[in-house]
Amino acid sequence: MNRINGKLIYGVTAASILALIAGFAMASISLTTTTQNATGNYVNASGAVTGVTYTSTVLGATSSPAPAASTGTGAAPQAVAAGANAFCANTCTAGDFAQVVTYTFTTSMAGSIQINIQVTATVGGGVATLYLKQAGAAVAGTIVITWDVGSATSSLTAVTLGLQQCSGATCP
């Protein structure tokens, strides 16, 4: 029976850990300027609601003036109007690095929706939920959600989006 040298085991383990870290670094995007613009495999958008379509996620700068936070709750979703609707998912400061997520909605969107957003980054990551509904009359437009990653350099590794239709007048 052959024995495996302990140094060999430690060497293989160290090499495996380095390969894992290198793979993680390659899968992240380093935010160094607010003029970057990218979509890619770090975005995972799931869920289907009739009349609502995931459009894009781009890197950019938080607009000026910065969008306000959504005031909707599960019991009282915020109404979206015709045209562009802009929301801040966390604390937004104009000019900061940002993930900007856009959904398009049509007049066939019925009832309330829930959008979950999770951003994984070395600086400025987190989780938020927005509760929205159409205004009294059926309208069409966009929902633009800004996730402010901050002014410090950050590495972004994932954006996870979940969209679901709420039952009745309230969301879960």
Domain ranges of the chain: 30-165
Q: Tell me, what's the pLDDT at 12?
A: 58
pTM, full prediction: 0.79
φ, ψ (nearest 5 deg) of residue 42: -85, -5
- Average pLDDT of the chain, as a whole number: 82
Contact 119, 158 (CB under 8 A): yes
Contacts of 77 (CB under 8 A, 6+ apart): 112, 113, 131, 132, 133, 166, 170, 171
The pLDDT > 70 percentage for the chain reads 74
Q: Please give the Cα distance from 150 to 93 (Å, whole number).
A: 8
Q: Tell me, what's the pLDDT at 124?
A: 85
pLDDT digits (tens, 9 = 90+) for 30-87: 665 544 445 555 889 999 999 999 999 888 889 999 999 999 998 899 999 999 999 9
